[in-house]
Amino acid sequence: MASSSQPARNPAPKTADPSGGILLTAADVARVVDRMAHQLIERAASIDPRSATGGLSDLVLVGIPTRGAPLARRLAARIEAFSGTPVDVGTADITLYRDDLRLRGVRALEPTLLPDAGIDGRLVVLVDDVLFSGRSVRAALDALRDLGRPRSVQLAVLVDRGHRELPIRADFVGKNVPTSRSQQVKVRLAEIDGVDEVLVTEGAPGVREPREEEAR
Amino acid sequence: MKRHLLEAADLDRADATLVLDTAAQIDQALAGREVKKLPTLRGRTVVNLFYEDSTRTRISFELAAKRLSADVINFSAKGSSVSKGESLKDTALTLEAMGSDAIVVRHSASGAPHRLAHWVRGSVVNAGDGTHEHPTQALLDAYTIRQRLGRLEGVRVAIVGDVLHSRVARSNVGLLHTLGAEVTVVAPPTLLPVGVGSWPVEVSYDLDAVLPKADVVMMLRVQAERMNASFFPSAREYSRRYGLDADRMAVLGDEAIVMHPGPMNRGMEIAAEVADSVRSTIVEQVGNGVSVRMAVLYLLLGGAPS
């Protein structure tokens, strides 16, 4: 496993890229997604080595809207390209499970769509764009509990920027990015934003509260 | 969204669409689930303050609040201190002192929820006030139309019957107009309100002329309990001219649907075979009511208290 896929230490060390700017280009994003797809194939196979499909038939990628959803679909497409086995994909909207609605106000809901086979007894991998405080993931775990009983749940994120507020870590990380709290990490994906890139920008004056989906 | 939902005019097009979209997402998220409960309003208290009898609206609001994990207190005027002469204001302030975050109110006096909204800090949701408005009914009707026909823009809706006494009609006229539907009200002249000329609707006295062009026929209940004069010669004559029976249903377009807010007077404004036909959305309307009210409660209460 590449070193950049190791779980982030918490709290994050000093700011690595004080100048801000582009962290990942479109080519970088594609490379990172390919690597994560390979790691997911390995993980599925290690869990069920005797399976004819390398454990992939038990795998469900569940994206957390907004940008986790297309990310999950991309990972599934790459896994199928590399292994020849199609993988189930779903999305789980976590808005109604958030603990910060009172702080941030209500927002429009996004679809929750699970594969017909459901998630009971399967290996669910939650997919999100940025891992920050961990509160989105906590909400997603609560949502999963109401949706079924997976055999195990793992977490894949494109960017881990540190500053966790909960004992949560990712199993698959595209890129670890030490940031300061005042910075913003923006993931843009072609499906939603028309372009693939990850940006780190200095936040507005005054330190913002951590928030996982910066561009939502 | 405004803090209260008192009438259809409180919702502009964006807000109304947000409510319908939210209801659709909630519907989809809960479909086929074993645990039909969301933690969103945990720790919030919703009071159902009902001064008038109700079956579906009260249960629907109660279910909606419970599915969002709010605590629900049901208050009906019968058997409370209201019978000792306690006023609406004192009752509301008492409930708020006990920590209610929202009051869902039904009252026989038009405008009661508006008064209430000035007295309390929490949100007020109008669940029907006199002959004035019933906005969540209009929302669930719009949701049902959109679900069946796939759109609201340009949909031709005929609202038929006792428009004069109908809060459902008033709210539907307002909301459907906001959402781009074309509404025609059909009633005997005695059952149309004085100001109907200023409503954004067509007016007709002839049901048979309107039916072939309608995508949606919304039948209203003849509200005998509010009728303090004779508005039509006999029930039989009303039924013959303004009732929807199988013969009239046959002239409707292929896609057209028949709605009724309930409770129905079968045989009066709507024939039993029409109410039970595949065009009828009456049972769907009840089911959709829960999702739409969940959406309303989420959007009013989910965010920061203002």
Q: What is the 3-state secondary structure (H, E, C) of chain B?
A: CCCCECCHHHCCHHHHHHHHHHHHHHHHHHCCCCCCCCCCCCCCEEEEEECCCCCHHHHHHHHHHHHCCCEEEEEECCCCHHHHCCCHHHHHHHHHHCCCCEEEEEECCCCHHHHHHHHCCCEEEEEEECCCECHHHHHHHHHHHHHHHCCCCCCEEEEECCCCCCHHHHHHHHHHHHCCCEEEEECCHHHCCHHHHHCCCEEECCHHHHHHHCCEEEECCCCHHHCCCCCCCCHHHHHHHHCECHHHHHCCCCCCEEECCCCCCECCCECHHHHCCCCECHHHHHHHHHHHHHHHHHHHHCCCCC
Q: Which domain covers residue A76, as residue numbers?
A: 28-47+56-99+109-180
Nearest to B302 among A101, A113, A147 (CB): A101
Nearest residue, CB atoms, A101 vs list B18, B37, B40: B40
pLDDT number for residue B115: 96
Say yes or no to pLDDT of A152 above 90.
yes
User: Does the pLDDT at position A5 exceed 50?
Assistant: no
pTM of the model: 0.88
**Inside any domain, residue A3:** no
Report CB contact under 8 Å: A101, B303: yes
A117/B contact by beta carbon, under 8 A: no
For residues B293 and B263, state if they share a domain. no
Lowest mean pLDDT among A19-23, A163-167, B20-24: A19-23
* Residue corresponding to tokens 């959007």: B299
In a domain, B199, yes or no: yes
Closest listed residue to residue B141, CA positions, set B247, B259, B30: B259
Q: Is the pLDDT of residue A213 over 60?
A: no
Using the 8-state DSSP alphabet, how is residue A176 labeled?
Answer: E
Residue numbers of B annotated as active site: 56-57, 84, 106, 134
Average the pLDDT over B255-284 and give the result. Answer: 95
| Reported ipTM exceeds the 0.85 cut | no
Which of the two residues, B82 and B160, has the higher pLDDT score? B160
Rounded to an integer, the average pLDDT of B34-61 is 92
Q: What is the pLDDT of residue A113?
A: 92
Higher pLDDT, B85 or A159: A159
Average of per-residue pLDDT values in chain B: 94
pLDDT recorded at residue A204: 61
Of residues B100 and A47, the one with the higher pLDDT is B100
Does A2 reside within a domain? no
Same domain, B111 and B186: no
Residues of chain A contacting residue B298, judged by C-beta atoms under 8 Å apart = 96, 106
Average pLDDT, chain A: 86
Residue A149 lies in a domain: yes
Portion 47-86 of B in contact with A at CB < 8 A: 68
Domain-embedded: residue A104:
no
Does A93 touch chain B if contact means CB atoms closer than 8 Å? yes
Q: How many residues does chain A have?
A: 216
Looking at residue A35, which CATH number applies to its domain?
3.40.50.2020
Residues B265 and B292 in one domain: no
Asked if residue A216 belongs to a domain, the reply is: no
Whether B46 and B59 share a structural domain = yes
B144: domain range? 135-282
Asked if the structure places residue B147 within a domain, the reply is yes
Mean local confidence (pLDDT), A196-200: 95
B156 located within any domain: yes
Contacts of B40 in chain A (CB under 8 A): 96-97, 101
Percent of chain A with pLDDT over 90: 73
pLDDT at B73 over 50: yes
* Inside any domain, residue A6: no
Number of domains in chain A: 1
Domain shared by B164 and B220, yes or no: yes
Is B306 a domain residue?
no
Whether the CB of A105 is below 8 Å from some CB of chain B: the reply is: yes
Q: What are the chain A neighbours of B21 within 8 Å (beta carbons)? A: 108-109
Query: Can you tell me the mean pLDDT for B106-110?
Result: 95
User: What are the pLDDT digits (tens) for A57-103?
Assistant: 999 999 999 999 999 999 999 999 999 999 999 999 999 999 888 88
Is residue B2 in a domain? no
A146 in contact with B, Cβ within 8 Å: yes
Q: Across the interface, which of A96, A103, A108 has its CB nearest the CB of B38?
A: A96
A214 in any annotated domain: no
Confidence of residue A20 (pLDDT cuts 50, 70, 90): low
CATH of the domain at B169: 3.40.50.1370
Is the same domain home to B277 and B295?
A: no
What is the count of structural domains for chain B? 2
Query: For residue range B199-214, what is the model confidence (pLDDT) as tens digits?
Result: 999 999 999 999 999 9
Mean pLDDT score, B21-34? 91
pLDDT, residue A94, reads 95
Predicted confidence (pLDDT) per residue in B216-259, tens digit: 999 999 998 888 778 888 889 999 999 999 999 999 999 999 99
Rounded mean pLDDT of B43-71? 94
Same domain as B260, residue B182: yes
- What are B170-226's pLDDT values in tens digits? 999 999 999 999 999 999 999 999 999 999 999 999 999 999 999 999 999 999 888
Report if residue A33 sits inside a domain: yes
- Same domain for B159 and B277, yes or no, is yes
Percent of all residues in chain B with a pLDDT value above 90, rounded to a whole number: 84
Percent of chain B with pLDDT over 70: 99
